[in-house]
Chains A and B, each alone.
Chain A
Amino acid sequence: MSGVTIRNVWKEYAGQTVLERLNLHVASGEFVTIVGASGCGKTTFLRMLLGQESPTRGTILLDGQPLPAEPGPERGIVFQRYSVFPHLSALDNVTLALELPASPVLGRLFAREKRIARDKAAAMLRAVGLEHAFDRYPSELSGGMQQRLAIAQSLVSAPKVLLLDEPFGALDPGIRGDMQALIRQIWQQTGVTVFMITHDLPEAFALGSRVLVFDKPRIDPQAPQAYGATITYDIPLRGRPGQVPDALVQRLSSAPGAPNEEAS
């Protein structure tokens, strides 16, 4: 079964249930956007997909195989910040992604192999619009350019799944639009499966082929931590950008804690 399968996954910390009863199958090649109020476990969900945390109950399968319990090359990640290596130029950042899997002892390629890797990295940088920034360090790039670099770095070794944790949350609205166009184009060209957390409902509905809404269906006023969040809406858009349902906007904006500024 190709894609990501999630079977009855729970995540609990001491005395606190964060996520409960998650059941989901995502076919490969889908673009899943994830929205929900603050503190409802979206980031925890992404971390479990990443392998940074493991579920307390249940299993996550990738193409029918249990997901390795630590981050690995089959899953790429772009965080909101700190996604690229500050000590490497843009070209070296992307080249590193080709060198690390190929060289387990030195983490470095030489001579002809190095040239091939650099050419491939350069092509990837051109594809995300960074053809003028090969030799610049990340600190010399704007926020949007840094995220372009992070996307190029994550995708150059062709992972099966790309995880995006509010990748455009810190960007100006104008830049955001460019980045959304870029990620949509990359998704269409590569067919990679994307999971993207966002706080921006229109963004979720414009980009996703499927929108997941995380929320707490049960709340015990005496013990607010007792029940966790789960997927309350699973909205397929079949590749056509959808309008944001009014009911959903109502539901999310009336939830405790407005849908922005998540303290993950």
Chain B
Amino acid sequence: MTRLINLHPDRVSRVVLGLLPFLLILAAYLVASADRLAANPNDKLLPGFGAIADAFWRMASEPSGRTGELLLWADTGASLVRLAWGLGIAGAIGLAFGVANGVLPLVRAGLSPLFAGLSLIPPMAILPILFIVFGLGEVSKVALIVIGIAPVIVRDLQARTLELPQELLIKAQTLGANSWTLVLRVVLPQVLPRLLDALRLSLGAAWLFLIAAEAIAASEGLGYRIFLMRRYLSMDVILPYVAWITLLAFIIDWSLRTLQRRAFPWFARVAGGGR
């Protein structure tokens, strides 16, 4: 008899097996929801799909009574702008300091312990400081994302830079590179695709800090809306918002991966690809 470890699913059964857990969770939700709604048609905890779709459509297409905005799009725009600023600034800091630390031993001796220490500070613990220093506006939210993910990106890119084969740096010197052109032509182009990997891995943390900051002080944004709706037990809005955030996160991750593949076609073969 074939051992279990040697049984491989074919393409169809792989898709079916992959979808199965999702369908089971969905079915469990529907059963529980129908059960509660049968007992109490006004139940707010587990709304049916019809109610969820209605609420989502309302958020997406009906202007808000208070501000006249389409709330879903206003929230999405506000959150994505903050996220983009946070990822962009953290990426720039990570690239600059990660490469400098990786290439220059003098800089590494000075800054590597600093970033190792910074990355141990729980970012949420200094959110109050950010609110005090930067006020309750956009800056403090972006700053929280940057402080949350930049030290990790710095340390990751420092490690990736140090992983570049020593032979390549020696070779560049024998070809007449100075320290600056060595960084510009040899190190940076090889670290850029790794920066995209680091950003993808930091994406979850970036969303976490974004939503945390929005939950505490904001007037629009996906995290703000979810925590606002909590007061009304509006699960019919909260649940589709969570799904929407998940979809956005997936699209961003996919875009970064596609950008990496298109912009750095040599990288997949060097790094083993498929990550």
Please tell me if the beta carbons of A72 and B173 are within 8 angstroms of each other in the complex: yes
Within 216-275 of B, Cβ neighbours of A (below 8 Å) are at: 264-267, 269-270
Give 9 closest A-B pairs by Cβ, nearest first. Answer: A107-B181, A101-B176, A82-B165, A71-B173, A82-B167, A73-B176, A139-B269, A107-B185, A137-B266
Residue numbers in B under 8 Å from A101 (CB-CB): 175-176
Task: Give Cα distance in the complex from A246 to B184, angstroms.
Answer: 52
Please tell me if the beta carbons of B184 and A73 are within 8 angstroms of each other in the complex: no
Contacts A86-B190, A97-B175 known; A50 to B170 CB distance under 8 Å?
A: yes
Q: Please encode chain A, from 64 to 105, with 1 for each CB lying within 8 Å of some chain B CB and 0 for all others.
A: 000000111101110101111111100000001101110111
Please tell me if the beta carbons of B176 and A100 are within 8 angstroms of each other in the complex: yes
**For the complex, is B171 an interface residue (Cβ under 8 Å from A)?**
yes
Please tell me if the beta carbons of B174 and A154 are within 8 angstroms of each other in the complex: yes
Contacts A87-B190, A137-B269, A139-B269 known; A77 to B174 CB distance under 8 Å?
A: yes
For the complex, count residues of A whose C-beta is within 8 A of B. Answer: 36
Within 179-194 of A, Cβ neighbours of B (below 8 Å) are at: none
Task: Give Cα distance in the complex from A85 to B189, angstroms.
Answer: 10
**For the complex, is B93 an interface residue (Cβ under 8 Å from A)?**
no
Please tell me if the beta carbons of B167 and A81 are within 8 angstroms of each other in the complex: yes
Query: Main SS of chain B's interface residues?
Result: helix
Closest to B172 in A: A100
Residue numbers in A under 8 Å from B186 (CB-CB): 85
Task: Give Cα distance in the complex from A81 to B172, angstroms.
Answer: 14
Residue numbers in B under 8 Å from A108 (CB-CB): 184-185
Closest to A140 in B: B269
Please tell me if the beta carbons of A106 and B181 are within 8 angstroms of each other in the complex: yes
Task: Give Cα distance in the complex from A99 to B172, angstroms.
Answer: 11
Residue numbers in A under 8 Å from B174 (CB-CB): 50, 71-73, 75-77, 154, 159
Contacts A50-B174, A72-B174, A87-B190 known; A139 to B270 CB distance under 8 Å?
A: yes
Residue numbers in B under 8 Å from A96 (CB-CB): 175, 185
Please tell me if the beta carbons of B266 and A103 are within 8 angstroms of each other in the complex: no
Please tell me if the beta carbons of A100 and B270 are within 8 angstroms of each other in the complex: no
Residue numbers in B under 8 Å from A8 (CB-CB): none
With both chains docked as a complex, state the minimum distance between the C-beta of A83 and any C-beta of chain B, in angstroms: 6
A sample of 16 more A-B contacts (CB under 8 A), given A82-B167, A87-B190, A97-B176, is A70-B173, A71-B173, A71-B174, A72-B173, A77-B171, A79-B167, A82-B165, A84-B171, A85-B171, A86-B270, A88-B189, A96-B185, A100-B176, A103-B181, A106-B184, A153-B171
Task: Give Cα distance in the complex from A72 to B177, angstroms.
Answer: 8
Residue numbers in B under 8 Å from A76 (CB-CB): 174
Can you spell out 17 A-B residue pairs with CB atoms less than 8 angstroms apart?
Answer: A72-B174, A73-B175, A77-B170, A79-B171, A82-B165, A82-B168, A85-B171, A85-B186, A97-B175, A99-B185, A100-B172, A101-B176, A104-B178, A104-B181, A107-B180, A139-B266, A153-B171
